[in-house]
Structure 1
């Protein structure tokens, strides 16, 4: 297998278009692309030309001869995908789309949100002749979760920012940073000044546990901790109780693994990253020796992706422990079973993956000092409580059960799904949504590319139909 996709894949899809032999799947337009954890190189079709590696914005594609020992599992993951999903009958997709004859000369669009979805929307618009795009963001710096949500020890994932910097240099692009839409400028004012407004404001808050004690000091959102160690302006001055030996992370998605990794990492190694100075200082004085990551369901239902699990398994200065038996049913449970057979090294910090536990109560009087959990069983894919409870002592309790969008002033909002109701991105002619505010907090960095293209297509449909207002100036 000449080239292999590794753990920093962002599913952008640029490699698919670059490949001359259609060797990378799932491609845009194919089943599973929008939800795929990563893309995969067909070991039979690949001709070792390197075009994919050149196109990849995060350097995720490597020759098999250059893989480190920690990356070797990706060889089997790439090959296994094609054993389970043969692509011999697939014709090349995502090549040249049908040419659109929209009259875009002079089209002015305001994009609200400078994160991945907003930048991809701007990119799609700026491919058209004569379009001007102003990108608004309430922060003085752009890129959203690509800057403030990616763990500092994953620098290659952050390289997608280099792609966004190229978009910034396109004719017709302009930033309006440190401007909060809804406060500094209203939607009505934007609609007067632009043909269309695209909201790509993401999901800025976290989901709540809804258990007693959740508001105690020391019980905090993993979202806030991520913002803290990435230097987000809203979180830069916060402090966290790191003088405890154990922390508990509720949830077992990628954010939970990120938080566990950062809390147990050697500070000297983190000092080589762009972690915030305040966070690094706090972690140098940390007493945390163990982070317990709790999953409500079993190993087979774990929410973290295979690439992130491979990265976690490859840590060489932290013990990763999987508690309990793991039935091997796929690649993910196979890796978890391998980890479960390891012998811990005395004295090391450690990350414990504990499954079939649901939070019941955050314990403590004035501050959090533990978590009460209840054992669960998985029946028909759902976690069912068994009545058996236990206490986990911990001075820091972090919830990492997903992001949640907030209502947008002037737009309808579905409280249950936490998104703006839309038709393929269209809220109404002239007002559109992209990214998490459009589809909910699901998908990966590259998912936003397909999502934003769909939204721009709806905008162009309305332009062609004469449904967009002409700006007043």
Structure 2
């Protein structure tokens, strides 16, 4: 009798355990994890790529506030760098995976909340990048024609929020504040002949404005020295070889770095060597090229802007800068310390390129306001189980697409590892099926990837008419209208 009761008890325990596993864990054969990725730029797509690769059943829904995907690859890469945009082909393959869904024209925090997503998904990945600009916080920063480089990039790349940016190109001199790749990008676009730009996917409104530009000189100004610049050798070489444009790097600014190049890591060594040779020993080809130039650009070092000076018409007259000196033993990371000397650079356009920061999109997401990032440990958002981040929203705006790829892959691997270890409970969730009805009820016009392909077809068609790769739609309603086009 005891044995029989024990057997019955055991069977009941097994039935209850199986019922619990079916209810809360799912069977190993039918449990399908659902992950929401917020942001469809490189970080979002690379994370998605890894998630789909690392788990045979996992499904990913990519949410994007715009009706179109690809983020900074579409809106941040310079139009004369089409080879960088080839990664879109890989992202397209990912988006067309049957376990991946693109859900565009949805604003997280407004159209749908993080709490809604937490109910519908096993994990949430925040990959929405860094949209806000860092400010100079100096007098005159609010004058007309003091513009963020990010906004100018959005303007010439057709980002809807920047398409009506007011840019006055009637002056002959511009100052770009910053020594990163974006600073060189905007300087290059301002100085590149429009006959060259017209063959790219630059937005037509920007091309028309640039065709009437009077800008002949651009100063690219940084607070530290030639050993601390953040731009890369590719961008510098492009500027040195820019058509009809002269490069000015003062010999006294770079003569001292020639003896230091052997001590530097290889990428920095090559960059430093090019800076040195350009300033001290330019090639005959350089000299011939520059002698015919009708425009020029100049690198300026050890200057920090303290004031943007206006004239009597409340327009930019000049940028006032304090001269700096460098302190610290690590020559690549020395700090700029201001002196008592100042200089003024006459100009009519100022472009601020001193970095970006992310913004909070929902109160349920922890956020470090001072650093402009989501606090995290190797991709796990601090204090929230099942929430992760990848790309600039977690690391800050550092690195290029390659480093973003590595970060996205690592986050994807981490999520699958946390699922396998039980850190993320194996509770069956609904995924997009729990979210789309809410969006429909709110009247949100959701754009899927097939609808994006209709937008893409319209843009490519417009571009062919103009003799260029594409002409981007810059108005949200135009994009939504294009999704109704017949295939």
Residue aligning to 2:375: 421
Residue matched to 2:271: 332
Give the secondary-structure state (helix, strand or coil) at the position aligned to 1:208.
Answer: coil
Q: Residue in 1 aligned with 2:397?
A: 441
Paired residue secondary structure (1:374): strand
Tell me which residue corresponds to 1:377.
325
User: Which runs of 5 or more structure 1 residues have no equivalent in the other structure?
Assistant: 1-101
Structure 1 partner of 2:340: 387
Contact 1:241/1:396, CA 8 A, preserved across alignment: yes
> 461-470 vs 375-384, which deviates more?
461-470
* Separation of aligned partners in 2, 1:120 and 1:236: 28
Q: How far 1:214 sits from its partner (Å)?
A: 0.8
Please tell me whether the aligned partners of residues 434 and 455 of structure 1 are also in contact (alpha carbons under 8 angstroms): yes
**What's the CA shift for 1:202?**
0.5
Measured in 1, the distance between the counterparts of 2:373 and 2:96 equals 31
What is the rounded CA distance, in whole Å, between the counterparts of 2:327 and 2:421 in structure 1?
A: 50
Q: Does 1:457 align with 2:419?
A: no
Instruction: Provide the secondary structure at the position in 2 that maps to 1:446.
Output: helix
Q: Does 1:211 align with 2:164?
A: no
**CA shift digits 1:27-69 (9 cap, x unpaired):** xxxxxxxxxxxxxxxxxxxxxxxxxxxxxxxxxxxxxxxxxxx
Aligned residue pairs total 372
Cα distance, 1:105 vs. partner?
Answer: 4.7
Conserved? CA contact 1:114–1:135, under 8 Å: yes
* Counterparts of 1:202 and 1:116, CA distance in 2: 9
Structure number with bigger Rg: 2
Partner SS, residue 411 of structure 1: coil
User: How does the TM-score come out when normalised to structure 1?
Assistant: 0.76
Q: Which residue of 1 aligns with 2:233?
A: 306
Match of 2:469 in 1: none
Partner Cα distance (2:348, 2:367) in 1: 37
Per-residue deviation, residues 211-233 of structure 1 (Å, max 9, x unmatched): 11111111110000001010111
Greater displacement, 172-181 / 357-366: 357-366
Q: Is the 8 A contact 1:103 1:464 kept in 2?
A: no
Match for residue 172 of structure 2 among 236, 242, 245: 245
Matched residue, 1:86: none
Distance 1:408 1:425 in 2: 18
Match of 2:43 among 117, 126, 138: 117
The superposition leaves residues 332-363 of structure 1 with CA deviations (integer Å, 9 ceiling, x where unpaired) of 22211222244542651111111111111011
Describe the SS at the equivalent of 2:227. Answer: helix
Q: CA deviation at 1:141?
A: 1.1
SS at match of 2:183: helix
What SS does the corresponding residue of 1:139 show, helix, strand or coil?
coil
Is this contact kept in 1: 2:194–2:210, CA < 8 A?
A: yes
CA shift, 1:315, in A, is 2.1
State whether residues 175 and 349 of structure 2, in contact with CA within 8 Å, keep that contact through their aligned partners in structure 1.
yes
Instruction: Decide which moves more: 336-345 or 363-372.
Output: 336-345
Whether the aligned pair in 1 keeps the contact of 2:170 and 2:214 (CA below 8 Å) is yes
Do 1:252 and 1:302's aligned partners in 2 also have CA atoms closer than 8 Å?
yes
TM-aligned CA deviation for residue 300 of structure 1: 1.3
Q: Which has the higher contact order (CA 8 A, sep 6+)?
A: 2
| TM-score normalized with structure 2 length | 0.74
Q: CA deviation at 1:460?
A: 2.1
Map 1:117-266 to 2 at 5 A. Answer: 117-127=43-53, 128-266=55-193
Q: Give the CA deviation at 1:252.
A: 0.8
1:470 corresponds to which of 424, 428, 432: 428
Pair 1:361–1:111, CA change in 2 (3 A): same
| CA spacing shift, 1:167–1:117, aligned 2, 3 Å | same
Q: Distance in 1 between matches of 2:308 and 2:251?
A: 24
- CA RMSD in angstroms, aligned pairs only: 1.7
Of 396, 414, 432 in structure 1, the residue corresponding to residue 349 of structure 2 is 396
Query: How many Å separate the matches in 1 of 2:343 and 2:418?
Result: 57
Partner residue in 1 for 2:17: none
- Residue among 397, 400, 408 paired with 2:361: 408
Question: 1:244 is paired with a residue of what secondary structure?
Answer: coil
In structure 2, the partner of 1:280 is 207
Does structure 2 conserve the Cα–Cα contact (< 8 Å) formed by 1:115 and 1:201? yes
Q: 1:103 to 1:157 in 2, by over 3 A?
A: farther
Give the SS at the match of 2:291: coil
Range that drifts further, 133-142 or 328-337: 328-337
Deviations 1:79-137 (A, max 9, x none): xxxxxxxxxxxxxxxxxxxxxxx989511111100000000011111112112111111
Give the CA deviation at 1:170.
1.4
Does the aligned pair in 2 maintain the 1:112–1:136 contact within 8 Å?
Answer: yes
